[in-house]
Amino acid sequence: MAVPEEFYLQQAALSARSASETDLPNLRDKYLRSQAAWEVLARREVATRTAREKREADKATMIVA
């Protein structure tokens, strides 16, 4: 089951907000690393979905041709 990119982006935003609200440098760094990881997951989700859609379109053209 695929998790929508919106969820990943929401988590990244939550991490960014948490990082901006803390005064502790170590905690801020943790939240910023978390934000970066969620953003990578969102980009990966988009790339995976795009590749899947392309494969399905290629298959459909092969069947019609």
**DSSP type of residue 24:** -
Give the mean pLDDT per block of 10 residues along the chain (65 residues). 85 98 98 98 95 92 77
Using CA atoms, how far residue 4 sits from 27, 37, 53, 61, in Å, is 27, 15, 15, 27
pLDDT for 3: 76
Q: Give the predicted TM-score (pTM) of the model.
A: 0.83
